[in-house]
Structure 1
Amino acid sequence: MAQRCCAQTHRFRPLCLSSPQPDPLLAHPHTMTPSSTTQSRRTSSGSWLLTAAITLAVLVRVLVPVAFPDLAETLASRPEVATPITQFQRLTEGVYLMRHGISPYDGNVVYQTPILLALFEALPSFLHRWIFVLCDIAIAAAIRQISQSKDEFDQILNAELSAKPTSPSSDDEIPEDVVSASTLAERKPSDGNGKDNDNDSSNDNSNGDDRAESKLDRVLTELQTEKAIEARSLDPWLITLLYLASPFSIASCIGMSLGVFDNLAIVLAVDFAIQGKRLPSMAFLAFATYLGMYPVILIFPCVLLISRRRNTGFWVTLLWAGLFYALSLAFLLGLSRSIAGSWSFINSTFGTILLVPDLTPNIGLWWYIFIEMFDQFRTFFLAVFQLWVVVFAVPISIRFKNSPLFVVLVLLAVVSTLKSYPSFVDLAVYLPLVGLYADLYKYMTWLFFSLSMLAYATILLPLFFHLWIGFGAGNANFFYAITLVFSLAQVILTMDLVSAMKLCEWERRHPRQRNSRLEVHDN
Structure 2
Amino acid sequence: MEEKESERLKKKPWFWSLAFASVIFRLILILFPNNLNLASRPEVSTPLTSLRRLAEGYWLKQASMSPYAGSMFHGSPLLLSILGPLTVKRFEGQPSHILCSLVSVIADFVTAMFIRLTGLNLQRAYNQSLKSLGLFRLLENSEIVSCGDIAALVYLWSPFTIISCVGLSTSPIENLVVMLCLYGACTRQVPLAAFGWVVATHLSLYPAILIVPVTLLLGYGPDTPPRKLLLQRNSCKFGDAQSSDSSFQDKELTNQPVQPIFFSWKPVVYFFLWALMWALYVLVLCGISVKDYGGLREMFNR
TM-score, normalised to structure 2, is 0.70
| Cα drift, residue 289 of structure 1 | 0.6
CA contact (8 A) 1:276 1:307 kept: no
Among 82, 105, 114, which residue is 1:133 paired with? 105
Distance 1:286 1:158, change over 3 A: farther
Letter in 2 for 1:259: S
* Residue-by-residue CA offset, 1:401-445 (whole Å, 9 max, x unaligned): xxxxxxxxxxxxxxxxxxxxxxxxxxxxxxxxxxxxxxxxxxxxx
Q: Does 1:91 align with 2:54?
A: yes
RMSD: 2.8
Partner of 1:59: 24
| Cα drift, residue 152 of structure 1 | 2.0
Letter in 2 for 1:306: L
CA contact (8 A) 1:140 1:244 kept: yes
Among 229, 254, 279, which residue is 2:191 paired with? 279
Distance 1:63 1:326, change over 3 A: same
| Cα drift, residue 314 of structure 1 | 3.3
Partner of 1:260: 172
CA contact (8 A) 2:180 2:193 kept: yes
CA contact (8 A) 1:105 1:345 kept: yes
Among 156, 168, 182, which residue is 1:244 paired with? 156
Partners in 2 of 1:88 and 1:234 — Cα distance?
Answer: 35
Letter in 2 for 1:62: L
CA contact (8 A) 1:153 1:309 kept: no
Partners in 1 of 2:264 and 2:206 — Cα distance?
Answer: 22
Distance 1:287 1:233, change over 3 A: farther
Partner of 1:291: 203
Letter in 2 for 1:113: S
Letter in 1 for 2:110: A
After the TM superposition, which residues 403-418 of structure 1 pair with which residues of structure 2 at under 5 Å, given as runs? Answer: none
Tell me which structure has the larger Cα radius of gyration. Answer: 1
| Cα drift, residue 286 of structure 1 | 0.6
Partner of 2:120: 148
| Cα drift, residue 159 of structure 1 | 6.9
Partner of 2:253: none
Distance 1:316 1:127, change over 3 A: same
Letter in 1 for 2:22: A
Distance 1:314 1:256, change over 3 A: farther
Distance 1:304 1:97, change over 3 A: same
Letter in 2 for 1:70: N
Between Structure 1 and Structure 2, how many residues are aligned?
A: 237
After the TM superposition, which residues 100-499 of structure 1 pair with which residues of structure 2 at under 5 Å, given as runs? Answer: 100-123=63-86, 125=89, 126-155=98-127, 233-309=145-221, 313-341=263-291, 342-343=295-296, 344-348=298-302
* Residue-by-residue CA offset, 1:87-118 (whole Å, 9 max, x unaligned): 11111111111111110123421101000001
| Cα drift, residue 272 of structure 1 | 1.4
Identity of aligned residues (%): 27
Relative to structure 2, which stretch is displaced further, 108-117 or 297-306? 297-306
Partners in 1 of 2:129 and 2:48 — Cα distance?
Answer: 39
| Cα drift, residue 245 of structure 1 | 1.2
Partners in 2 of 1:242 and 1:103 — Cα distance?
Answer: 40
Letter in 2 for 1:54: A
* Residue-by-residue CA offset, 1:25-50 (whole Å, 9 max, x unaligned): xxxxxxxxxxxxxxxxxx9xx95544
SS of 1:80's equivalent? Answer: coil
CA contact (8 A) 1:288 1:295 kept: yes
Partner of 1:69: 33
CA contact (8 A) 2:197 2:207 kept: yes
CA contact (8 A) 2:219 2:267 kept: yes
* Residue-by-residue CA offset, 1:160-197 (whole Å, 9 max, x unaligned): 8x59xxxxxxxxxxxxxxxxxxxxxxxxxxxxxxxxxx
Distance 1:256 1:158, change over 3 A: farther
Distance 1:78 1:277, change over 3 A: same
In structure 1, runs of 5+ residues without a counterpart are 1-42, 164-220, 349-523
| Cα drift, residue 334 of structure 1 | 1.4
* Residue-by-residue CA offset, 1:242-281 (whole Å, 9 max, x unaligned): 1111111111101021111111001111111111110111
Letter in 1 for 2:165: C
In structure 2, runs of 5+ residues without a counterpart are 1-7, 90-97, 225-261
SS of 1:76's equivalent? Answer: coil
